[in-house]
């Protein structure tokens, strides 16, 4: 008895702790977003104020030390125009891409399942009404054999909505997946977010740094933010490496291009460089991981649920195959919604692009080899992704 009470208390404590953590993540999301903007702005300001003038300064041969080296000229106003504008263009391009895609990831709703649930309920109601009509027709035909008629019952090709409705109008048996927390149907790849307390289309995960779920509609912006953030951090760290080595070794520089020891600019640069180094490495790791996921046609949730799916398939004597894996090239084309009017290079241009499909129907690997599925898909958003790539 005591053990049962202890386990029950522990379960309640765990639920309360998880609920408290989810509330902190949800309501603390704007603080994380503000902190991210401040850190990115700090690194950008340090690069433009300290690193860019040093990179664009004319070089002169400095002697007298252990080795000869090219150092910036003491002339404070002299710059090399080509170097200055080249680095400025690269820096502002990366900064614009980072800002744009971060804004897109934060402000774009990931996509909800409300419209899908409403559509499923309507079809379930129609199916139930059709079944009642069909039964009445059969009774009438049995009573009047000479007037026998067949009334076809419309069925949904994907969800086969043979549903019985309870008093609230909620389908009790439908082919679609059902969320008990939201009390409504949800499509394939849709999952319930315990932080946002809603179901999200093609949910990947909830990210506190964007105060939003990463889902069907904003996954593109989140991924490109990771890529450009990693590229920008690497550009900052590599281009300013000589300055960082000089400052971290506490050498007194004779060049007016570098902030003097003890100055606020020097401390800001050291902080920005360390942030770019360590946070950039972490973001780069996430970018590589998500690149691999996209190439395999998976989300983060599907990746961590793969072991369970493989174990279930093994118990049934089958081999687990990811049905959404269309091959790396086609996976990326579907992810970025590329097509005849949107080639690969458009990914490099920061702009808003709607995701492919409505997030409730997905192209599967067996659809590419099935003649029936191919004919059906030619009338959907996936029509440009059926041919070999």
Q: Mind listing the pLDDT tens digit for each residue in 10-41?
A: 677 777 877 787 878 888 999 999 999 999 99
Domain housing 53: 38-108+219-325
Beta strands in the chain (DSSP E): 59-62, 69-72, 177-179, 184-186, 191-193, 198-200, 205-207, 212-214
Instruction: Give the model confidence (pLDDT) of 57-109 as tens digits.
Output: 876 545 444 444 445 555 555 678 888 899 999 999 999 999 999 999 999 99
Give the lowest-confidence range in 86-90, 120-124, 125-129: 125-129
DSSP states of 141-198 as a string? Answer: HHH-GGG----PPP--TTT-----B-TTS-BSS-SSEEETTTTEEE-TT-EEETTTTE
Assess whether 227 and 315 both reside in one domain.
yes
| 271 and 223 fall within a common domain | yes
- Is 13 within a domain? no
321 and 245 within one domain: yes
In a domain, 127, yes or no: yes
| 351 within domain boundaries | no
Same domain, 138 and 80: no
Phi-psi region of 230 (alpha: psi -120 to 50; beta: other; left: phi over 0): alpha
CA atoms of 342 and 334, how far apart (whole Å): 12
Examine the domain organization and report whether 159 and 241 are in the same domain: no
Looking at the structure, do residues 130 and 82 belong to the same domain, yes or no? no
Query: Which one of 325, 357, 382 terminates a domain?
Result: 325
Cα 370 from chain centre = 30
Domain boundary among 136, 168, 186: 186
- Residues designated as active site: 207
What's the total number of domains in the chain? 2
pLDDT confidence of residue 369: 72
Average pLDDT of the chain, as a whole number: 81
- Do 128 and 252 fall into the same domain? no
User: Quick check: 240 and 135 in contact, CB under 8 A?
Assistant: no
Q: Give 378's pLDDT tier (boundaries 50, 70, 90).
A: low
Same structural domain for residues 96 and 235?
Answer: yes
Tell me how far apart the alpha carbons of residues 184 and 116 are, in angstroms, rounded to a whole number: 9
The whole-angstrom separation of Cα 293 and Cα 325 is 10
Same domain, 103 and 230: yes
Q: Please indicate, yes or no, if residue 163 is contained in any of the structural domains.
A: yes
Q: Would residue 24 count as lying in a domain?
A: no
179/255 same-domain check? no
Determine the average pLDDT of the residues in 41-63.
82
Q: State mean pLDDT over 244-271.
A: 76
pTM > 0.85? no
Residue 362 lies in a domain: no
Specify whether 133 is located in the same domain as 272.
no
Say if residue 101 is in the same domain as residue 44.
Answer: yes
């Amino acid at each position: 008895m005591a053990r049962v009470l202890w386990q029950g208390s522990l379960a309640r404590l765990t639920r309360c702790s998880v609920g408290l953590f989810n509330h902190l993540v949800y309501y603390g999301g704007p603080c994380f977003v503000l902190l991210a903007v401040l850190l990115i702005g700090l690194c950008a300001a340090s690069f433009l104020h300290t690193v860019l003038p040093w990179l664009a300064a004319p070089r002169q041969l400095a002697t007298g030390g252990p080795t000869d080296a090219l150092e910036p000229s003491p002339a404070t106003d002299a710059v090399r125009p080509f170097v200055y504008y080249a680095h400025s263009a690269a820096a502002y391009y990366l900064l614009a891409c980072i800002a744009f895609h971060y804004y897109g990831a934060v402000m774009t709703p990931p996509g909800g399942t409300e419209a899908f649930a409403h559509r499923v309920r309507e079809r379930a109601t129609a199916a139930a009404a059709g079944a009642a009509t069909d039964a009445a027709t059969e009774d009438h035909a049995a009573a009047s054999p000479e007037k026998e008629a067949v009334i076809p019952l419309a069925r949904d090709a994907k969800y086969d909505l043979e549903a019985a409705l309870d008093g609230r109008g909620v389908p009790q048996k439908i082919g679609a997946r059902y969320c008990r927390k939201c009390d409504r149907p949800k499509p394939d790849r849709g999952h319930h977010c315990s932080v946002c307390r809603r179901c999200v289309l093609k949910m990947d995960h909830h990210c506190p740094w964007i105060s939003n779920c990463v889902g069907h509609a904003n996954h593109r912006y989140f991924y490109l933010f990771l890529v450009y953030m990693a590229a920008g951090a690497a550009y900052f760290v590599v281009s300013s490496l000589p300055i960082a080595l000089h400052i971290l070794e506490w050498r007194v520089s004779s060049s007016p291009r570098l902030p003097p020891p003890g100055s606020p600019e020097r401390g800001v640069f050291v902080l920005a460089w360390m942030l770019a180094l360590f946070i950039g490495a972490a973001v780069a790791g996430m970018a590589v991981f998500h690149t691999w996921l996209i190439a395999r046609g998976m989300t983060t949730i599907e990746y961590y649920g793969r072991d369970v799916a493989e174990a279930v398939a093994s118990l049934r004597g089958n081999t687990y195959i990811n049905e959404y894996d269309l091959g790396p090239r086609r996976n990326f084309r579907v992810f970025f919604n590329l097509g005849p009017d949107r080639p690969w290079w458009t990914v490099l241009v920061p702009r808003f692009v709607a995701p492919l499909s409505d997030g409730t129907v997905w192209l599967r690997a067996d659809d590419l080899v099935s003649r029936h599925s191919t004919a059906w898909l030619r009338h959907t958003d996936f029509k440009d992704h059926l041919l070999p790539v």
